[in-house]
Chains A and B, each alone.
Chain A
Amino acid sequence: MSAENFDLKEMRCIAGLFWSSYRRFPDRPALSVDGKTLSYRDLASMAAGFAVTLDEVDATQQVGVIAYRTATAYAGILGILASGRTYVALNPKFPHERNQTIAEFAELKHIICDPEYLALEFDNYKANQDEPAFITIDDADLKKSIAGIPCRVAAPIGGQPFEMAALASEAPAYIMFTSGTTGKPKGVPITNDNVLAYVNNVLALAPLDEHDRFSQTFDLTFDLSVHDMFVCWAVGACLCVVPDRAVMAPAKFIREQNLTVWFSVPSTIGFMHKLRTLKPNSFPTLRCSWFCGEALPAQSARLWCEAAPNSFVENLYGPTEATIAFTNYRWRGDELDKSLAGGYVPIGRPMGDLEAVIINDDNKLAPPGESGELHLGGNQLTPGYWQEPEKSALAFINQAFPEKTSSRWYRTGDLAKQNDEGNLEFIGRVDSQVKILGYRVELGEIERVVRLVCQSELVAAVAWPRVGASASGVVAFVCGTNLDVSTIINACEKSLPPYMVPKMIYSIEQFPLNANGKIDRGQLEQRLAEG
C-alpha cells in the first residue's frame, strides 16, 4: 500500500506525505472545516504561505500553533513542517498559564495564531519581556478584526513555486507536552522518521485511498491528532474536522459528512449509546473505526460494530513517547467476555516490526499469562524527553532480550500480560496497582465489576482511606446509575474478594477530567480527602 503512494526512503519530512498527495490530487478535497472545504491546492497554498513567512522572519526551530479547528491550524502545522521546523501545539481551551509554561519551556519565539484569538493572546503575552511574535492569516470572512494588533500576516502563495525545506529526518516534527497532574509538563519530541514509521505501519492495517473521508476529533495537543492528519493526507483523503460541540455526540456529523474512517477515544461510544444515537446501521458509510487513548470496553466494541456494520473496529494502544499508537487488535466479535481481561478488548500486538516485552517484578521476561510492565522497542521511540536527560535516563533502558532486535526500550508504566492467543492485554497502570490491607490489588479489576453491575461505562475505583503507601479499603465513583448503593455492593460481593469490595459507592454527576479528557483520579482523591 505505502509503496504505491510514496517512497518512504525518499521521504524525509511528514509534510511530504501531504505534498505528494497534492501533486497527485491537487483538486481533491483535503480539509473540511468550519463549513468550508479546501482542496489540496488551497491548503498547500496556505501552508506554503506560512512556510515562506517563517523563513522571512527567520523563525527558530520550534514554532507554536494556537488555533482551534480552523484552516489556520492545519495550514499552520503543514507550513511549519514544510519549512523544516518543529511544531508545538498550544490549546486556546487551556488556561493561559499552561500555554505560557509550554511556550517558555519550548522556547517559542513565533506562534501561528487564529485571528480569533489574536487580540487575547497578544494581551496575554504583552507583559512578557520576550513575548513571542504572532503570525496569522488575513481573511475577508473573519469574525474579528486583526487591525491594530502587531502581527505578521501570511498570505497564501497561490500559483508561485514552492519547495519544501531539505532537512534531516532526525529533526522533531513536533513536541507534545503531556499533561502531568502536578508541576511542569513533560515535552516529548517526535521525529519525522518516527511519524513516517508510524504512518507506514498504520497503512498496512487498512486499504485506504483518496476517496476516504477521515474524522478529526482529537485536539492538536493530543498526539492522536497526528494520526488523523497524516494518515489521511498520506493517501490523498479528506480530513473532516468534527466541530467542538459535536465531538461527544457526533452521530449527525458522521452521516452528513459521509465519513468512512472514524478515530476517537472509546468513551465517545458510551456517550453516544446513552443518547441512543448508536442504533443498528446508524453509520453505513464507515469502513474503518479506530479507538485509542483509553481502554476499550468489549461492550462498546460490540455496540459500535452494530452501528457501523460495514466497518472493522480496531483497538490501538500506545504512549506519546512511542509515537501515537504502537499495538493493534482487530475486534472479531466472537470474543467471550470471560476470556477478556477486565471486560476490555486486548491491545493486541506491536504493528509492523515494532517490538514489545513484558518485564516482571524480578526484572525478567514475564512468561505468557504473567503480568508485568510493558516495554516497547523500535523506530517509533522518541529520542528522549525535551531537555530532561534525567527523566529520559529513567524512562528508557538499554538491554538485550533473546529473539528481539531492539536494544533500547521505553518503560511504559503500563501493566500488561500476554493472553493465550499471544495478544497483549492492558491491565492498568503500574502505579494504579495498590495495596489494600496488604493485598496487591489492581483497581481496574474492581472497576470492571462495578461497570458490569451498574451497566455504566463511567466508573473509577480509588483506594481509600490511605494508610501510608497502602490503603485500608476501596471506594468507587459511578456516573449514570439508578441502582442504590447496597445493591451495587451486594453484587460486587458476589465476584470480588472482601478486601476488593468497595466500601462506598459515590454516584457522581460528572467526572473531573484532565486536559486530555481522561478521568482525573487525583481530583477524585482530593474530593475524598476534603470529605
Chain B
Amino acid sequence: MNEQEIREVIFDILNRRMASSEMTAETLNEQTSLIDLGIIDSFGFLELTSELEEKTGILMDFSDADPDEFTSVSGLLKLLKP
C-alpha cells in the first residue's frame, strides 16, 4: 500500500464515523487532532487504530509518538509509513 492508498483507508474509516456530520474526512485539516475536532474520543481512537492496522496490515509503534501528533491524519500517516 502506498501513502495515497493508506490515506484513502483513513478517510474511509473517518467518513463512516462522521456520517452524521456535515464534514467529510477529505476536507479536514490533516494537522489537527481528531480528538480536538470532536470526531473521536480516546476510546474511539483505540477503535480507529485497530481498524487501521487491520486494513493496512501495518503495526503502528506509539512508544515514542506524541499524542499531539498521532491523533491527527498526518500523524497517523507518519506512523503508517509503508
Residues of A within 8 A of B (CB): 243, 245-246, 248-249, 251-252, 271, 274-277, 279, 282, 458, 479-480, 509-511
Q: Which residue of A lies closest to B48 (CB)?
A: A509
Instruction: Chain B residues near A243: list those with CB within 8 A.
Output: 67-68
User: In the complex the two chains form, is B42's CB within 8 Å of A279's CB?
Assistant: no
User: In the complex the two chains form, is B43's CB within 8 Å of A249's CB?
Assistant: no
Sorting the interface of chain B by its residue count into under 10, 10 to 19, 20 to 34 or 35 or more gives 20 to 34
User: In the complex the two chains form, is B43's CB within 8 Å of A509's CB?
Assistant: yes
Q: How far is the CB of B62 from chain A (nearest CB, A)?
A: 4
Q: Known contacts A245-B67, A276-B62: does B44 contact A271 (CB below 8 Å)?
A: no
Q: How far is the CB of A289 from chain B (nearest CB, A)?
A: 18
User: In the complex the two chains form, is A509's CB within 8 Å of B68's CB?
Assistant: no
User: In the complex the two chains form, is B33's CB within 8 Å of A252's CB?
Assistant: no
CA of A180 to CA of B40, assembled, Å = 25
Which of the listed residues A251, A271, A282, A509 has the most CB atoms from chain B within 10 Å of its own CB? Answer: A509
Q: How far is the CB of A31 from chain B (nearest CB, A)?
A: 21
Q: Which residue of A lies closest to B51 (CB)?
A: A509
CA of A408 to CA of B6, assembled, Å = 62
- Show 30 A/B contacts (Cβ-Cβ < 8 Å), sorted by A: A243-B67, A245-B36, A245-B68, A246-B67, A248-B42, A248-B67, A249-B42, A249-B62, A249-B67, A249-B70, A251-B62, A251-B63, A251-B64, A252-B65, A252-B66, A274-B49, A275-B46, A275-B49, A275-B62, A276-B59, A276-B61, A276-B62, A277-B63, A479-B43, A480-B47, A509-B44, A510-B43, A510-B44, A510-B47, A511-B43
B35 within 8 A of A: yes
What DSSP secondary structure best describes chain B's contact surface? loop
Within B45-82, which residues are at the interface with A (CB < 8 Å)? 46-47, 49-50, 59, 61-68, 70-71
Residue from the list A271, A276, A458 in contact with B63, Cβ < 8 A: A276
Q: How far is the CB of B52 from chain A (nearest CB, A)?
A: 12
Residue from the list B44, B47, B63, B71 in contact with A245, Cβ < 8 A: B71
Q: Which residue of A lies closest to B43 (CB)?
A: A510
